[in-house]
Amino acid sequence: MAERPVVDVVMLAFGDEPYLADAIDAVLASVGVDVRFVLVDNGCTRDDVDELSADRGVSLLRPARNLGFTGGVNLGAREGAGEYLALVNSDAIVAPDALATLVAVAADPTVGIASADVRLADDPSTMNTAGNPLHVLGLSWAGGLGDPASQHRAARDVASATGATLVLRRAVWDALGGFPEDFFAYQEDLDLSWRAWQRGWRVRYVPGAVVVHHYAFSRNPRKMYLLERNRLLFVLTSYGTRTLLLLAPALVGFELAMALVAGLQGWGRQKVAGWVWVLRHLGWVRSRRSAVQAARTVPDRDLVGLWVARFSPVALALPAGAEVLQVILAGYWRLVRRFV
């Protein structure tokens, strides 16, 4: 009998984590794979984390401080040596065959990352994400959010996997260098996915690898700060020079528009704080950009088809008049994309 693939599963725990035990048990009930489980306690306030881990044979890591999603996953990933690495959220309940289904796709040498079929826990017939789109200005969101799951039965390439549940070969993870720890949280799955595309690996949405997710837009009061800061970091480090120059007018205009929206919605200080961080860490930005661009083997012109030029109103609340701006931006992108 053939040996089952070994999958190192990394899960992070932070805060009260009401679904942690269920999430762990679901992973351990996986069929068709040999699971080795690492739980990283990033500041979990449950009083039974030690018992949960010991009773289930889960390796528990406790860093001295909250390393964020990026640092926590990188720490957990270093503990394993299996052929495959899986990231599973602590509020995500994987179906018994989900990891094996993802592994079967990730085994394809042309695939870098296999992204799960993630449903809303409140209604598992409804999608949470079928892979995440990438807007030309660096925004990314839960693709297909709110759609009937029946609309997403076909496997396809996507711009970005979802960090809620994904699988990749250990060799791919090592080649990409894991997550950029300075991101701390948010957009790291996009950054990893885009760098996979830049290295010639596809990112695939895998229907049938079903995960139900107790999805909430944010458990972090700094989410908008991190989202916007990391969007800028992603664009500045991942886009080619010609792409940045072509998009510069739209990017500057969008920054001004987002600043206005942030002020009206009450998170203006977070938006400004993102700009301040970037300006104070320009050396990091330059170094990161140099490393990312040097490692890539696929130019932006070969990735043009992965970008979209319209936001989803389901995933992103748009202010009045935004549709006019969307039309203008879409037209601008149609004009300049041929020169990327």
The pLDDT tens digits of the residues spanning 110-151 come to 999 999 999 999 999 999 999 999 999 999 999 999 999 999
Q: Are residues 10 and 40 in the same domain?
A: yes
Alpha carbon distance 231, 233 (integer Å): 5
Alpha carbon distance 16, 311 (integer Å): 33
pLDDT value for 134: 97
**At which of 178, 213, 248 does a domain end?**
213
Does residue 187 sit within a domain?
A: yes
pLDDT value for 312: 82
Q: Are residues 108 and 172 in the same domain?
A: yes
Listed in sequence order, the residues at least 6 apart from 213 whose beta carbon sits closer than 8 Å to its beta carbon are: 89, 91, 92, 93, 118, 119, 120, 121, 128, 164, 165
Torsion sign (Cα): 314, 316, 322, 327: negative
**At which of 193, 213, 233 does a domain end?**
213
Q: Are residues 151 and 232 in the same domain?
A: no
Q: Are residues 165 and 284 in the same domain?
A: no
- Note whether 92 and 185 are within 8 A (CB): no
Give me the domain span that covers residue 129.
6-213
Does residue 80 sit within a domain?
A: yes
Q: Are residues 287 and 190 in the same domain?
A: no
Q: Are residues 115 and 232 in the same domain?
A: no
Does residue 267 sit within a domain?
A: yes
Q: Are residues 231 and 200 in the same domain?
A: no
Comparing 325 with 201, which gets the higher pLDDT? 201
Does residue 1 sit within a domain?
A: no
Give the pLDDT confidence of 65-100 residue by residue, as tens digits.
999 999 999 999 999 999 999 999 999 999 999 999
Residue 265 — very low, low, confident or very high, per pLDDT cuts 50/70/90?
confident
Element (H, E) at 94: strand 92-94
Does residue 268 sit within a domain?
A: yes
Q: What is the pTM of this model?
A: 0.96
Q: Are residues 206 and 235 in the same domain?
A: no
**In total, how many domains does the chain have?**
2
pLDDT value for 231: 98
Does residue 141 sit within a domain?
A: yes
**At which of 159, 182, 213 does a domain end?**
213
Range with lowest mean pLDDT among 210-224, 281-295, 308-322: 308-322
Q: Are residues 187 and 290 in the same domain?
A: no
Q: Are residues 120 and 269 in the same domain?
A: no
pLDDT value for 324: 85
**Please, what is the end-to-end C-alpha distance for the chain in angstroms?**
50
Give the pLDDT confidence of 136-190 residue by residue, as tens digits.
999 999 999 999 999 999 999 999 999 999 999 999 999 999 999 999 999 999 9
Q: Are residues 38 and 75 in the same domain?
A: yes
Torsion sign (Cα): 75, 216, 202, 138: negative
Alpha carbon distance 120, 140 (integer Å): 18
CATH number at residue 138: 3.90.550.60
Does residue 73 sit within a domain?
A: yes
pLDDT value for 317: 67
Does residue 218 sit within a domain?
A: no
Q: Are residues 64 and 37 in the same domain?
A: yes
Q: Is 219 a residue whose pLDDT tops 70?
A: no
